[in-house]
Structure 1
Amino acid sequence: MRHVLKRRQIHFAEVLRDIYFTTSTVSLAFLVLTLFIFSYFKSLQCSRISIHKNLVMSFIFRFILIIIMFEPYISLREHSYRDVDWLCKVFTVLRKYTIMANFSWMFVEGLFLHNRLAVSVFSTEAPFVLFYVIGWGIPAIITTTWAVLMEFYNDEPCWQEHNLSPLIFIIYAPILITLVINCAFLVNIIRILITKLRAHNAIETARIRKTIKATVVLLPLLGIINLLFLLKPDATEGSLMEAYRVINSILPACQGIFVALLYCFMNSEVRSVIKKKWYRFRLSRSWSSHARRRTSRTSSYFLSQSESGLSPLNRTTTPL
Structure 2
Amino acid sequence: MPNGTWYRSPSTGKYWADYTDCVNTDDLQFRNLVNSLFIFGYSISLAALVMSLLIFFTFKTLRCTRIAIHVHLFISLVFTNVAWIIWYKLVISDVTVLQSNGIYCRILHVLLQYFMVANYMWMFCEGLHLHLALVVVFVTDVYAMRWFYAIGWGFPIVVTSVYVMWRSSTPQDTLQCWMEESRCHWALSIPVLTSICISLLFLINVMRVLLTKLHRNSINPAPIGVRKAVRAALILVPLFGIHHILIPYRPPHNTTWEKIYQLFTVALVPTQGLCVSVLFCFANVDVHGAFHKYIRRIKRRGTTHTNVTGTTQPAQSQIRDVIV
TM range (shorter): 0.7 to 0.9
Give 2:36's aligned residue: 18
What displacement does 1:253 show?
Answer: 0.9
Q: 1:103 Cα deviation (Å)?
A: 0.5
Name the structure 2 match of 1:96: 113
Aligned to 1:34: 52
Q: SS of 1:122's equivalent? A: coil
CA offset at residue 7 of structure 1? 3.8
**Contact conserved, 2:101 with 2:175, CA < 8 A, in 1?**
no
Q: 2:290 aligns with which of 273, 296, 305?
A: 273
Shift of 1:125: 4.8
What residue identity is the alignment partner of 1:130? W
Cα offset for 1:62?
Answer: 0.5
SS in 2 for 1:171: helix
Where does 1:50-65 land on structure 2 (aligned, <5 Å)?
50-65=68-83
* Structure 2 match to 1:186: 203
RMSD value, Cα = 3.7
Compared CA separation, residues 229 and 30, structure 1 to 2 (3 A)? same
Q: Give me the whole-angstrom Cα distance separating, in 2, the residues matched to 1:34 and 1:193.
A: 27
Q: Tell me which residue corresponds to 2:164.
A: 147
Deviation at 1:24, TM superposition (A): 0.5
Whole-angstrom CA distance in 2 between matches of 1:72 and 1:228? 24
For structure 1, which segment, 150-159 or 15-24, has the greater mean C-alpha deviation from structure 2 after superposition?
Answer: 150-159
Q: Distance in 1 between matches of 2:112 and 2:82?
A: 9
8 Å contact kept, 2:117–2:192? yes
Unaligned runs of 5+ in 1: 202-210, 295-320
CA distance in 2, matches of 1:143, 1:118: 32
Q: Work out whether residues 49 and 273 of structure 2, in 8 Å CA contact, stay in contact via their aligned partners in 1.
A: yes
The superposition leaves residues 255-287 of structure 1 with CA deviations (integer Å, 9 ceiling, x where unpaired) of 111111111111122112123324434655677
Contact 2:98 2:177 in 1 (8 A): no
1:245 to 243, 259, 262: 262
Counterparts of 2:271 and 2:214 in 1: how far apart (Å)? 33
Q: Which residue of 2 aligns with 1:257?
A: 274
Counterpart CA distance in 2 for 1:289 and 1:78 is 65
Q: Tell me, yes or no, if the aligned pair for 1:220 and 1:255 is still in contact at 8 Å.
A: no
Task: Verify the 8 A CA contact 1:220 1:258 in the aligned structure 2.
Answer: no
Give, as a single letter, the amino acid of the residue that structure 1 aligns with 2:35. R
Contact 2:124-2:195 within 8 A present in 1 as well? yes
Q: Which amino acid aligns with 2:139?
A: F
What is the alpha-carbon distance in structure 1 between the residues aligned to residue 204 and residue 281 of structure 2? 24
Task: Report the counterpart of residue 221 of structure 1 in structure 2.
Answer: 236
- For 2:175 and 2:304, locate their aligned partners in 1 and report how far apart those are by CA, in whole Å: 65
Secondary structure of 2:181's aligned partner: helix
Other structure's SS at 1:253 match:
coil
- Report the alpha carbon displacement of residue 239 of structure 1 after superposing the two structures with TM: 5.2
Partner residue of 1:313? none
- After superposition, the C-alpha distances for 1:149-203 in whole angstroms (9 at most, x for unaligned) are 3233336334434422x222111111111011112222223333333478969xx
Indicate how the Cα distance of structure 1 residues 225 and 153 shifts in structure 2: closer, same or farther if over 3 A, else same.
closer
Alpha carbons 1:162, 1:168 under 8 Å: kept: no
Match of 1:311 in 2: none
Written as runs of structure 1 = structure 2, the 5 A alignment for 1:264-303 is 264-281=281-298, 284=301
**TM-score when normalising by structure 1:** 0.74
Structure 1 CA distance, aligned partners of 2:79 and 2:119? 9
1:117-166 Cα shifts (integer Å, max 9, x gaps): 234363465511111110001101221232233233336334434422x2
Change (3 A) 1:13 1:182: same
Alignment: residue pair count: 280
Read off the aligned partner of 1:222 and give its amino acid letter: V
In the alignment, the residues of structure 2 paired with residue 248 and residue 98 of structure 1 have an alpha-carbon distance, to the nearest angstrom, of 18
The 5 A counterparts of 1:122-133 are: 122-123=139-140, 125=142, 127-133=144-150
Residue type of the alignment partner of 1:190:
M
Deviates more, 1:278-287 or 1:96-105: 278-287
